[in-house]
Structure 1
Amino acid sequence: MTAPVDAGVAAVVRELEDRLAALPAGQDARRAFLGTYARTTTAIGQALAAGVFEDPGWVRRWDVAFVGHFLAAHDADVDGGAVPRPWRLAFDADPALPTLVHLLLELNAHVNYDLPQALLEVVSDDDFDHPVLMAARRRDHERVDTLIASRVAVEGRALPGGARLAARLLAPLDRWSTHRFLPAARRQVWANAVDLHEARRTGPEAYAARIAELDVLTSARIAELLRPGPVLLRLAARGFGVRLPPP
């Protein structure tokens, strides 16, 4: 029996599945990302329905906002429109690259660039003035880390053909790297969100300048991921996240 999924999250899962169904032939990398994302979002919805989070309403709003950033980039790309540079670099990567690399490129754009902005959409400036509230929300943010890390093996088995074989051969390194670099990246995301909050309080120009810095850092990390060589080993050594410099 399938575990129940929170109704609010189920709605965005359907949006992801609709985009997946509409993909034309030859979009294997995007298909892999959309499939992985839909399954992971379903798992978050199941955790919400099971009462895993301290503030389920906030986690639901965050997840909907976060998925919305990807959907906006995906839809704009499909329609031939402008997308943020990190997404453009990820979407335009050589289709011949391994599926695992494409997944990492799109994950980089979504986590490092989109996630701090999505957090700011569901955490007001007033919220930041309440330490108890923010501590609870940070704990829920970290619970998502645990859930994502638990899905590494499952998603490796779901990859198609040669990518699935590569994931199985690299499974020990993959699990170790993911347990290390993804939680570390999300801690940096939280710190970046705090910095963006301070910029937002200063004014629109300061906020726009910090978003531009985040764009540069995320795009540079994509360029690093595209270098020849063992991507997972580089991630294990260098990490996955980016960190805004002091203002």
Structure 2
Amino acid sequence: MRGGRGVTDGVAALVARMELLLDQVAGDGDPARFFLGTYLRTTRAVGAALTAGRFEDPDWVAEWDVDFAGFYLDALEIHRATPHAVAAPWRRAFGADPGLPPEAHVLLGMNAHINYDLPQSLIAVIPPEDFAAPSLMDRRRRDHERIDDVLAARVAEEDLALQRAGGRRTWLEHLLAPVNRRASRLFLRESRRKVWANTAALHEARLAGAGAYALRLADLEAASAARVGDLLRPGPVLVRLAVHGFGVTLA
């Protein structure tokens, strides 16, 4: 279904917010500029996919895209004012050594955002009654997975953008770049599956009441923070991702 003007207006406003914030963090030399720059370019690509009619429910995808990005942008703005006021996954990601290469900051931001923010956003844009409609949920899941195609199509271009931004590559890493790109696709698919399962777990907790939801969200925060911490450890990150995966799973 092709997206109309109303669908893209919200995404356009989101892009404008990102551009303004990127100017601020880049002006300050904040390493958050690496993930935010990547996210901005990806959001533009999602907007183009909406206009091209690549989703079954473009209105819902646009609403979700704006809501999801808001979790990250709010966290970044709060962190810049009060660093300790953000959730644990973001404290670790934002608090990483500024001297890490750009691709490391992007990986940390992606990990915190997908594992911690994405299930919360899906809960926000999928009301309880929708979970009782299998055909509707299948449509939501398919559109959720189509985002992977948009992200995967940008891996090579973002790789070049990070190198231009100062990414440090050894000759071996250059040689392995095609392998890393294929791995990125696998990690995205794996994390999306886990996100969908975690969303269902948050939904069940939501039905049980605010207290149950708060406890489940705390579990997700702890698991997501632990995964960011794992990525921050010295050593080959790709190997750890292959062993532990990109996503997290609520028990």
Q: Distance in 2 between matches of 1:143 and 1:164?
A: 31
Within the candidate set 205, 209, 227, 1:199 is matched to: 205
Report the counterpart of residue 8 of structure 2 in structure 1: 6
Report the counterpart of residue 228 of structure 2 in structure 1: 222
List runs of 5+ in structure 2 lacking aligned partners.
none
Q: TM-score, normalised by structure 1?
A: 0.93
Aligned 8 A contact 2:102 2:165 in 1? no
Moved more, 5-14 or 102-111: 5-14
CA drift of 1:227 comes to: 1.0
CA drift of 1:237 comes to: 2.9
CA drift of 1:162 comes to: 3.9
Within the candidate set 164, 175, 184, 2:181 is matched to: 175
CA drift of 1:238 comes to: 2.2
CA drift of 1:233 comes to: 2.4
CA drift of 1:165 comes to: 4.3
Q: Distance in 2 between matches of 1:169 and 1:31?
A: 27
Aligned 8 A contact 2:101 2:168 in 1? no
Counterpart check, 1:75 vs 2:81: no
Moved more, 113-122 or 101-110: 101-110
> Matched residues, percent identical?
53
Within the candidate set 36, 53, 57, 2:55 is matched to: 53
CA spacing shift, 1:161–1:64, aligned 2, 3 Å: closer
Report the counterpart of residue 163 of structure 1 in structure 2: 167
Q: Distance in 1 between matches of 2:243 and 2:149?
A: 21
After superposition, the C-alpha distances for 1:32-77 in whole angstroms (9 at most, x for unaligned) are: 1111000001101100011100000110110010010011101101
Counterpart check, 1:62 vs 2:46: no
Structure 1 residues 1-247: aligned runs within 5 Å: 6-23=8-25, 24-27=27-30, 29-80=31-82, 82-159=85-162, 160-163=164-167, 165=169, 168-245=174-251
CA drift of 1:236 comes to: 2.4
CA drift of 1:7 comes to: 2.3
Q: Distance in 2 between matches of 1:114 and 1:38?
A: 17
After superposition, the C-alpha distances for 1:191-210 in whole angstroms (9 at most, x for unaligned) are: 10011001000000000000
May I ask how many residue pairs the two structures share in their alignment? 241
CA drift of 1:25 comes to: 3.1
Q: Distance in 1 between matches of 2:138 and 2:60?
A: 13
Aligned 8 A contact 2:114 2:195 in 1? yes
Aligned 8 A contact 1:77 1:83 in 2? yes
Q: TM-score, normalised by structure 2?
A: 0.92
Q: Distance in 2 between matches of 1:67 and 1:11?
A: 12
* RMSD of aligned residue pairs (Cα, Å): 1.6
Amino acid at match of 1:16: M
After superposition, the C-alpha distances for 1:129-168 in whole angstroms (9 at most, x for unaligned) are: 0000000010000000111111100100111354164674
Amino acid at match of 1:40: T
After superposition, the C-alpha distances for 1:199-236 in whole angstroms (9 at most, x for unaligned) are: 00000000000000001100110111011111122212
Amino acid at match of 2:167: A
Amino acid at match of 1:72: D
Q: Distance in 2 between matches of 1:63 and 1:161?
A: 26
